[in-house]
C-alpha cells in the first residue's frame, strides 16, 4: 500500500486534504505501510524535519502529533484490538 496523504513542507499540511499532517487518512495508510519500529523511525525523522520548519512546535507538541498516536495504533494492531 502506498501513502497518498503526504506532508507539504514547510506548512506540514496534508497535500490532499489540507489537514495538519499526519492527517487521519495518512495515519491509516502509514500504519498499513510500516511495521511498528519502521513507522516510529519514519515519524521521528518527520518530527525532526517539522521542528525545523515550524518554529512554534515544542518537543511535546511534536511527540503528540507525530509519535504518540503511532505507538498506540501499532500496539492496538499488534494485539488484535
Residue 1's closest CA among 40, 43, 33?
33
- Please say if the pLDDT value at position 81 is more than 50: no
- What pLDDT does residue 72 have? 81
What was the pLDDT predicted at 11?
97
Of 58, 12, 7, the residue nearest 30 (C-alpha): 7
Q: Kindly state the percentage of the chain with pLDDT values over 70.
A: 90
Q: What is the pLDDT of residue 76?
A: 58
Mean per-residue pLDDT, 36-64: 95
Residue 68 CA to residue 47 CA, distance in Å, equals: 11
| Structure confidence by residue, pLDDT tens digits, 18-42 | 999 999 999 999 999 999 999 999 9
Is residue 13 within 8 Å of 24, Cβ to Cβ? no
Amino acid at each position: 500500500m502506498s501513502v497518498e496523504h503526504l506532508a507539504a513542507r514547510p506548512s506540514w499540511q496534508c497535500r490532499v486534504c489540507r489537514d495538519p499532517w499526519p492527517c487521519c487518512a495518512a495515519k491509516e495508510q502509514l500504519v498499513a505501510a510500516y511495521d511498528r519500529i519502521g513507522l516510529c523511525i519514519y515519524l521521528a525523522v518527520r518530527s525532526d524535519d517539522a521542528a525545523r520548519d515550524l518554529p512554534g512546535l515544542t518537543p511535546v507538541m511534536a511527540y503528540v502529533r507525530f509519535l504518540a498516536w503511532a505507538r498506540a495504533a501499532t500496539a492496538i494492531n499488534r494485539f488484535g484490538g
